[in-house]
Amino acid sequence: MNTQLSDVKAIFSYRKFWAQRFGTAPFLPMSRTEMDELGWDSCDIILVSGDAYIDHPSFGMALVGRLLESQGFRVGIIAQPDWQSADAFRELGKPNLFFGVTAGNMDSMINRYTADKKPRSDDAYTPGGEPNKRPDRAVTVYAQRCREAYPGVGVMIGSIEASLRRIAHYDYWSDKVRPSVLINSKADILLYGNAERALVELAHRVAGGEKLSEIHDVRGTAFIVPHGWRPNDEWEEMDSTTVDVPGRVDAHPDPYAMSPADNAPKDAEPAPVVQTIKFMNVHERVAIRRAQRAKTVVRIPAFEAVAYDPVLYAHASRTLHLESNPGNARALVQLHGDRDVWLTPPPIPLTTEEMDFVFGQPYARNPHPSYGKAHIPAWEMIRYSVNIMRGCFGGCTFCSITEHEGRIIQSRSEESILKEIEEIRDKTDGFTGHISDLGGPTANMYRLSCKDPKIEKSCRKLSCVYPDICENLNTDHSSLIQLYRKARAIPGVKKINIQSGLRYDLAVKSPEYVKELVTHHVGGYLKIAPEHTEEGPLSKMMKPGMGAYDKFKEMFERFSKQAGKEQYLIPYFIAAHPGTTDEDMLNLALWLKKNNFRLDQVQTFMPTPMAMATTMWHTRRNPLKKLARSSEKVDVVRDGYRRKLHKAFLRYHHPDNWQILYDALLNMGRRDLIGYGKQHLIAPTPPGSGRDRPGQRFNVARTAHHPTQRFQDAPPAPRGKPAAKTGGKPAARGKPSGRR
């Protein structure tokens, strides 16, 4: 059963009444009092989340809640509960069907800790930005508390935290391989990826009397079964070592091969009848193979094996990524002890009509009233933005978007997007005519897809744009250009910025798009992410070389000049990514200085569950290639000193980094980069030491108008007076030097 969301018309009668009276849909209840106001004696489904409840489609809890509500289910919300006991999980009573548990929009460990494993001081998804409002590994903790609150009630887990932990995975924070989140959470079922279709089907089937723990035929789900379990006798098991290469070459029958009867003597006994070979056409063979794949499960190495064998871990990771295309992916199974964790094939992407239905629900577009006027940073960031698409075919190894949302782009219609902009204009408090973003995981993949659906369904490439843009990829940006123009024409809309990350190697394929973007939708700065300049780390990231960046930069500057605007690119780079040597980071630092970039905020690589780069980090193997004991070893920056050094190279200009860079350059035999000239990276003496270059002092005040907020050298001190000393501390903010 694959329920078509757009066909469902069931809407609660109170919704229409509330909308007529108050101009908006009611919030989903968070208390017994709110349930009483709605006339409910119980909830059918209760959603538990680590985020504050904000009724906006950019927040998964609201999107899922409104979707289930549209199906006629009574949905309650338990947001950021006190997990120290089960009391908070009894707030709304016992759900009639099941609990739906998520950690929120972010993985709870990434939300709570930095790349250096230090606790964060704030939480963007909590009122007031207050930290520590969710536990570590929130999905597991919440699911256990739901079980404790109401034993026997079904528990479903989902969201990005559960999705990226659906099999055995390396956990950066404990530095070990952990089992599937299903094992520790004791949940009945896990939904991974974009799970709307699966969620609707499961909810209706449970309402029809089926047990959540016994539903094993829905795509995009994972569950625990006895070892060796099969849906029926038609299923076959295949060992993952037979699919460790993308695709398979079948031996074709030789049409010129002669049967033994052709050479038999005239007076010989009659030869046995030889069955005539029927040569199947391509479509018949594809159909047969597809039918076989649909009844095949691929067994990847067991948890106990991958936990101690890096090569097997890398192999399992590679296999999972190769089996990620909904058009040809097979089911996967992994042994944990004496039980199997079974994964059905990935969910079929939503159609445009279904996307419109999901995003077209009557969201209140505000935080729940119980938060009062508390500042919620994540809400402030997206309140005037519109999500126009999902998915990403970039396949960057350090990013989890592709693993979670898939490579196939799911786009909303123009009508749906323009309607949401009008709703923001008419219903969102504080709107001044400025739409902060029209985007998604990537700014410019709207309606981009494979030119041939048949090729798309059979493709097993991990990226559509690496090492080069696939010849079968449609890179026409005309739909996005048209959308921008129509959005700008809406009365009351004064400005639309694009803040989602831009895929510039795609953008340069459409100069018209770059011109449209630069002329109308850049608010002074535009974020792009080269991530690095050197081939070594770029090949491990699956990112393009700097040639595409240079081409885009030329277009950006040319069109900005034509528009009469002074605008800047903000490049993002990653320090300490697997495959990065000290020399790579030095070369990146030299590139930054040559191009006059002085970065302020930089990021150090953080290994996140299921990402290919995380596999490199943990195993020191490259899962982008076929694996063997003798396969390529990846340079991994794990120790604290090298991680600090790589980050320091990105901020070569900062006084605090002088000593570590000075020592590193000497150790690397690059004394030639120490001096006062343009060709030098750092000075021979510490900034602010009183031994600086005569007539100069180092001012670490930020440059207010430059996109990278680089640090500037202050003007020379007046002749005859000593330069002001900073003592190594930031000097007072002064006027920018105007240097570009």
> Which amino acids are annotated as binding site for [4Fe-4S] cluster, given as ranges?
392, 396, 399
Token pair, residue 14, equals: 């109170």
Q: How far apart are CA 359 and CA 196, in angstroms?
A: 11
Q: What does 173-212 look like in DSSP terms, one character per residue?
A: TTTEEE--HHHHH--SEEE-SS-HHHHHHHHHHHHTT--G
The torsion of the CA quartet 659, 663, 665, 670, rounded to 10 degrees, works out to 120
Q: How far apart are CA 148 and CA 186, in angstroms?
A: 11
Q: How far apart are CA 270 and CA 256, in angstroms?
A: 22
Token pair, residue 472, equals: 């079968």
Dihedral sign from CA coordinates of 445, 448, 453, 456: negative
Strand 603-604 with 525-531, pairing: unpaired
Please report, in angstroms and rounded to a whole number, the separation of the first and last CA atoms in the chain: 60
Query: Is the CB of residue 641 less than 8 Å from the CB of residue 661?
Result: no
Our CA angle for 539, 543, 547, nearest 5°, is 100
Specify the 3-state DSSP secondary structure of 286.
Answer: helix
Convert 363-396 to b/e letters by CB count within 10 Å (16 or more is b): bbbbbbeebeeeebebbeebbbbbbbbbbbbbbb
User: What residue numbers does the annotated binding site cover?
Assistant: 392, 396, 399
Helix, strand, coil: what percent of the chain each, to 5?
A: 35, 15, 50
Query: Is the CB of residue 495 less than 8 Å from the CB of residue 421?
Result: no
Q: How far apart are CA 365 and CA 361, in angstroms?
A: 11
Radius of gyration of the chain (CA): 29
Strand 437-439 with 434-435, pairing: unpaired
| H or E element in which residue 588 lies | helix 582-594
Specify the 3-state DSSP secondary structure of 505.
Answer: helix
Token pair, residue 516, equals: 């449209």
Q: How far apart are CA 559 and CA 310, in angstroms?
A: 49
Q: How far apart are CA 83 and CA 89, in angstroms?
A: 8
Query: Is the CB of residue 138 less than 8 Å from the CB of residue 165?
Result: no
Strand 45-49 with 98-101, pairing: parallel
Specify the 3-state DSSP secondary structure of 371.
Answer: helix
Q: State phi, psi for 576 to the nearest 5 degrees.
A: 65, 25
Strand ranges, E, within 80-188 = 98-101, 154-157, 169-171, 176-178
CA distances from 179 to 106, 237, 240, 337, 703 (A): 20, 22, 19, 10, 48
**Cis peptide preceding 467, ω within 30 of 0:** yes
Of 61, 131, 54, the closest CA to residue 99 belongs to 61
Of 689, 703, 679, the closest CA to residue 598 belongs to 703
Amino acid at position 475, single letter? T
Q: What does 289-317 look like in DSSP terms, one character per residue?
A: HHHHHHTEEEEEPPHHHHTT-HHHHHHHH
Strand 189-191 with 169-171, pairing: unpaired
DSSP 8-state assignment for residue 385:
E
